[in-house]
Structure formats: C-alpha cells, structure tokens
Amino acid sequence: MAAPPKKSFALRLEPSLYDALERAAAHEFRSVNAEIEVLLREALARRGIKVAAPQQRPRGRPPRQDPE
C-alpha cells in the first residue's frame, strides 16, 4: 500500500531560526524538514492535541518481482 502524499507549503523563516533548526537536525541525524515535523508533533502533544503517528514508509529496495 502506497503512503499518501505529504502536504507541501511554503514556510518563511528568519535565517537565524533556520540555522538553529539545521544545527538541531544535524545533531539528531535528520533533515530540517523531519526536524520541523518532530518539533511540531512535540509542541502539539504538550498542548494535548493528538496527532496520528506517521505512516512508516518501507525502507530499502522493493521486493523482487518474478516475471510471469
């Protein structure tokens, strides 16, 4: 089953905030996008807002398809 596409939108940030996000993401071995998602989920959880867990995408190569 394919994962639903992610929602895309423009986000304008102050350069110093983006730099801090980059450093935090690198420290956690994440992309800046993934770091923003983690921070947003944590902030929503602190406010008591439940968000469904992200759908795990399969990692690695897809299984080999034998020719029929």
- pLDDT tens for each residue of 12-65: 999 999 999 999 999 999 999 999 999 999 999 999 999 888 777 777 888 888
Q: Is there a contact between 25 and 35 (Cβ–Cβ < 8 Å)?
A: yes
pTM, whole model, 2 decimals?
A: 0.72
The pLDDT of residue 3 is: 65
The predicted structure's pLDDT at residue 68:
66
> How far apart are alpha carbons 8 and 25 in whole angstroms?
19
pLDDT for 1 beyond 60:
no
Q: Are 45 and 38 in contact (CB under 8 A)?
A: no
> In terms of residue numbers, what domain contains 26?
15-46
Question: Does 59 reside within a domain?
Answer: no
The verdict on residue 67 lying in a domain is no
Q: How many domains does the chain have?
A: 1
Question: SS3 of 52, please?
Answer: coil
Burial of 35 (0-12, 13-18, 19+ CB in 10 A): buried
Report yes or no on 41 lying in a domain: yes
